[in-house]
Amino acid sequence: MNAEQIRFRGTVQGVGFRPTVARIARAHGLPGHVRNDGEGVTVVIGGEAAAREDFLRALLRELPPLAKIDAIERSPCDGVEGAEFIIERSQQGSARTAVAPDAALCPDCSAEIRDPFARRYRYPFATCTRCGPRFTIITAVPYDRASTTMRGFVMCEDCRREFEDEADRRYHAQPIACGRCGPAARLVRTDGAPVVSASLSMLDDVDAVKALLQRGEIVAIKGLGGYQLCCDAASEAAVAELRARKRRPHKPFALLAWDVDQVRRYCAVSESEARALSSPAGPIVLLRASGERLAPSVAPGQRTLGFMLPSTPIHALILRQLGRPIVCTSGNLTEEPQCVDDDDAVERLSGIADWALVHDRPIAHGIDDSVVREMDGEIRVLRRARGYAPAPIRLHPSFAEAPPLLALGGHLKATFCLLRGSSAVLSPHVGDLDEPRTVCAYERSLRTLMALLDHSPARLALDAHPGYRTREIARSLGELPTERIWHHHAHAAAVLAEHGLPADAPPVLALVLDGLGMGEDGALWGCEVLVCDFLRAQRLASLPSVEMPGGDRCAREPWRSAVAHLVRALGWEAVESVPALSGRHTPALDLALRTAPRASSAGRLFDAVAAVLGLHTSGVSYEAQAALALEAAVDEGSAEPGYPVSLAFGASLSPLWSAVLTDLAAGLPASVIAARLHEGLALALADAARAARERRPEITTVVLSGGVWQNDVLLRRTLRHLRADGWSVLLPREVPPNDGGLSLGQAAIAAARALSQDVRLG
């Protein structure tokens, strides 16, 4: 044979893959062709076998930055016509190719919009094959201009020439545009009044936004995946006004800076954090604040700041000359999904921003900014959205024969997961399903991704909790075989799945810590030591179950958890002895305690200790605020001994609470009590792991999962103890440790169960 077909699967469309193939094939003097189709990219290439090997090696070495190859399939074919290597037009086909995530402004385009002699000087929609919108503008696959929201813009001659020039950075860059032919940005007033400028003919709308921000105004800006709300991060008045109008009193705001050097004025930035900031994904990176201060209202009570760099030319043009960062937070009222549609945005945001920078390139799919943090030496995704989703996550090849699946995720930080073979597409972060608008956004996202990926599930995977909104969503999908999965098993399985463990991998130990989820027999769990594989989970130890008077209100009112914990551990006198809890003992509470559901929740234990210390005792305005305050109270490098905590079944938390109250009465500061709690829980987890090893000595791997592991203080201490005991530890990386990662775990469990049924039946 002197020709073969090579199929590339993965993120290979819309990323400059074909021109790279053509360039390298021509450099090797090999004839053939390359084309996009519904399955990815197909190359037919002639020439000697050795030359073809050289070609493939060179290609893999010189992949374009946004390309990600999941699989290569090679097969012999009949030879090629002619002696040239050509790029063929796209073929329609069943959609099995990955949809590329959006990519932040690249250095070349960033330089170009600043070059007064370049054609795209100050053009807010400059993009190339290395950057720009992908997922947010795609309406169908294969990815071609006609299948994007750019289809309404007819390329001018110059753009057309670049688009067709294989040597150009914009060769087949589908969103290609310039000031003559492409979208335009426009500054509007959200009250509908005309924008009046003194020099009527020459308003540079983007420049005007910079001036407005300098004046302390709040401006809504249409970003890649939706509207964002921006204001001067150095102006306390502006930031406080944004908080009041957005009805978001405390939850930290994200910041946008011009470059890494500017971020370093306010935060310590490690090498890998700097790389994450400037990566094509362009996430918000949580960094340790140090150096100059911004407005105190940016992130009240936090030791970290979340920074990102410009994701589009619009952001770059605004930031370039501002000389300081701006607040850049998602454009919504608290708890609602981000605004995407222009009319809707201007109307809904009119009470928050007086000005909006809009434009006429429609957003096909809304998507929030992603959040990452360096923990235990690696960048870890805490919110998976713009720049990451919907790139597939590769599972172990042993999942290849699993039926197509849909896993619906959890109730908070909801995501869903479409699993086909060993490729799992985790949806972008949607939000909390308490809010009807968020449920609509979830259903819309589900419909569009299923259509885009041509996915029709044969099975569903659901959380075991009957009260989650995902139950109703599942019913609306019709009668499908459904797996109901314990919340904490799914948390653990998500980590196993992203680390590429096979479907029949042997059991591991899992320490799953979070707020709340449903486990065996309808019990509410939240601090569990499990032995599990993909098929099943067994609980070996746990925090004791404690009442949650008022149910869900406990998560918003930490004093409730404090009272419940103290009454259970030490009785009512203990509650009376805590100044922060005075006056909380009422007959209504007595009744609530007697009828309350109980849960073994790590999140509620942190809330309880925070409340006793007077940290957000009466209420929080966002999830885990009290626990975060407790984490922030711990001094770095503190070597306090741990409080006595045991996770053995039947153990009591009385020793812990006696110690806390003794320290409180002795006037020890919150920093010491918080440090002792973190260390106590870390030691208890390591103890529980040791006890598990006595029963199951063959297990040497431990998985950490659940939202509580976003607590870096607890993570560091627990890891130190576990590693000293010789455990090999698996942590979430690409997938959030919190409920945002649940759907991947559910999908992997349901797939493994379906596969093992096949084995049993066969």
Q: Could you tell which of Zn ion, Fe ion, none binds residue 47, using a CB distance below 5 to 8 A set by kind?
A: none
Q: Does position 131 bind Zn ion by CB under 5 A?
A: yes
Compute the least distance from the CB of residue 691 to Fe ion, in Å.
Answer: 24
Nearer to Zn ion, 77 or 178 (CB): 178
Nearer to Fe ion, 286 or 599 (CB): 599
Nearer to Fe ion, 76 or 466 (CB): 466
Nearer to Zn ion, 168 or 204 (CB): 168
Nearer to Fe ion, 331 or 741 (CB): 741
Q: Which of residues 722-741 bind Fe ion (CB under 5 A)?
A: 739
With vertex at residue 596, the alpha carbon angle to CA 594 and CA 601, rounded to the nearest 5 degrees, is 130
Compute the least distance from the CB of residue 209 to Zn ion, in Å.
Answer: 22
Candidates 22-30, 368-376, 496-504, 512-520; binding stretch for Fe ion (CB under 5 A): 512-520
Nearer to Fe ion, 514 or 623 (CB): 514
Compute the least distance from the CB of residue 384 to Zn ion, in Å.
Answer: 23
Q: Does position 170 bind Zn ion by CB under 5 A?
A: no
DSSP 290: -
Long-range contacts of 167-172 (CB under 8 A, 24+ apart): 169/108, 169/128, 169/129, 169/130, 170/127, 170/128, 170/129, 171/16, 171/19, 171/129, 172/16, 172/18, 172/19, 172/87, 172/129
HEC secondary structure over 372-439: EEEECCEEEEEECCCCCCCCCEECCHHHCCCCCEEECCCCCCECCEEEECCEEEECCCCECCCCHHHH
Compute the least distance from the CB of residue 317 to Zn ion, in Å.
Answer: 14
Nearer to Zn ion, 16 or 306 (CB): 16
Nearer to Fe ion, 409 or 517 (CB): 517
Most distant CA atoms of the chain, gap in Å: 91
Nearer to Fe ion, 633 or 708 (CB): 708
Q: Does position 400 bind Zn ion by CB under 5 A?
A: no
Kindly give the pairing relationship between strand 326-330 and strand 254-256: antiparallel
Q: Could you tell which of Zn ion, Fe ion, none binds residue 109, using a CB distance below 5 to 8 A set by kind?
A: Zn ion
Nearest to 511 by CA among 528, 533, 523: 528
548/618 Cα distance (integer angstroms): 15
Phi, psi of 180 (to 5 degrees): -85, -35
Nearer to Zn ion, 110 or 646 (CB): 110
Nearer to Fe ion, 453 or 627 (CB): 627
Q: Does position 306 bind Fe ion by CB under 5 A?
A: no
For 484-504, give one letter per residue: b (16+ CB within 10 A) or e: ebbbbbbbbbbbbbbbebebe
Tokens at 59, concatenated: 């290609």
Compute the least distance from the CB of residue 146 to Zn ion, in Å.
Answer: 17
Nearest to 735 by CA among 525, 424, 287: 424
Long-range contacts of 158-164 (CB under 8 A, 24+ apart): 158/119
Nearest to 138 by CA among 260, 13, 50: 13
Cβ(330)–Cβ(410) below 8 Å? no
- The residues, ordered by sequence, that sit 6+ positions from 241 with a Cβ below 8 Å of its Cβ are 218, 231
Q: Which of residues 651-680 bind Zn ion (CB under 5 A)?
A: none
Q: Does position 130 bind Zn ion by CB under 5 A?
A: yes
Q: Does position 368 bind Fe ion by CB under 5 A?
A: no
Look at residue 237 and give its three-state secondary structure.
helix
Name the residue whose CB lies closest to Fe ion. 514
Q: Does position 159 bind Zn ion by CB under 5 A?
A: yes
**With contacts defined by CB under 5 A, how many residues of the chain interact with Zn ion?**
10
Q: Does position 510 bind Zn ion by CB under 5 A?
A: no
Nearer to Zn ion, 159 or 730 (CB): 159
Select the residue interacting with Fe ion from 514, 663, 679, 734 (CB under 5 A): 514
Cβ(228)–Cβ(246) below 8 Å? no
Q: Provide the CB-side half-sphere exposure for 500 (13 A, CA).
A: 4
DSSP states of 41-100:
EEEEEES-HHHHHHHHHHHHHT--TT-EEEEEEEEE-S--SSS-EEEPPP------SPPP
Amino acid at 128: C
Q: Could you tell which of Zn ion, Fe ion, none binds residue 465, using a CB distance below 5 to 8 A set by kind?
A: none
Compute the least distance from the CB of residue 119 to Zn ion, in Å.
Answer: 8
505/510 Cα distance (integer angstroms): 14
Compute the least distance from the CB of residue 517 to Fe ion, in Å.
Answer: 5
Q: Could you tell which of Fe ion, Zn ion, none binds residue 517, using a CB distance below 5 to 8 A set by kind?
A: Fe ion
Nearer to Zn ion, 311 or 711 (CB): 311
- The residues, ordered by sequence, that sit 6+ positions from 446 with a Cβ below 8 Å of its Cβ are 406, 416, 427, 473
Q: Could you tell which of Fe ion, Zn ion, none binds residue 156, using a CB distance below 5 to 8 A set by kind?
A: Zn ion
Compute the least distance from the CB of residue 424 to Fe ion, in Å.
Answer: 19
Q: Does position 106 bind Zn ion by CB under 5 A?
A: yes
Q: Provide the CB-side half-sphere exposure for 486 (13 A, CA).
A: 23
Q: Could you tell which of Zn ion, Fe ion, none binds residue 178, using a CB distance below 5 to 8 A set by kind?
A: Zn ion
Compute the least distance from the CB of residue 140 to Fe ion, in Å.
Answer: 35
Select the residue interacting with Zn ion from 3, 156, 474, 672 (CB under 5 A): 156
Q: Provide the CB-side half-sphere exposure for 491 (13 A, CA).
A: 35
Candidates 99-107, 262-270, 527-535, 672-680; binding stretch for Zn ion (CB under 5 A): 99-107
CA distance to 71, 95, 188, 493, 574, per residue, from 455 (Å): 19, 9, 40, 22, 57
Candidates 114-122, 515-523, 585-593, 665-673; binding stretch for Fe ion (CB under 5 A): 515-523
Candidates 136-144, 465-473, 507-515, 628-636; binding stretch for Fe ion (CB under 5 A): 507-515
Nearer to Zn ion, 361 or 413 (CB): 361
Q: Does position 517 bind Fe ion by CB under 5 A?
A: yes
Q: Does position 128 bind Zn ion by CB under 5 A?
A: yes
Compute the least distance from the CB of residue 648 to Fe ion, in Å.
Answer: 23
Select the residue interacting with Zn ion from 86, 181, 203, 240 (CB under 5 A): 181
Look at residue 484 and give its three-state secondary structure.
strand
Q: Could you tell which of Zn ion, Fe ion, none binds residue 3, using a CB distance below 5 to 8 A set by kind?
A: none
- The residues, ordered by sequence, that sit 6+ positions from 345 with a Cβ below 8 Å of its Cβ are 220, 222, 226, 227, 331, 339, 356, 358
Candidates 159-167, 238-246, 506-514, 656-664; binding stretch for Fe ion (CB under 5 A): 506-514
Nearer to Zn ion, 62 or 158 (CB): 158
Q: Could you tell which of Zn ion, Fe ion, none binds residue 181, using a CB distance below 5 to 8 A set by kind?
A: Zn ion
Q: Does position 254 bind Zn ion by CB under 5 A?
A: no
Candidates 114-122, 178-186, 466-474, 511-519; binding stretch for Zn ion (CB under 5 A): 178-186
Cβ(190)–Cβ(350) below 8 Å? yes
Q: Which of residues 14-33 bind Fe ion (CB under 5 A)?
A: none
CA distance to 159, 294, 348, per residue, from 353 (Å): 35, 21, 10
Cβ(626)–Cβ(620) below 8 Å? yes
The contact set with Zn ion (CB under 5 A) reads: 106, 109, 128, 130-131, 156, 159, 178, 180-181
The contact set with Fe ion (CB under 5 A) reads: 514, 517, 739
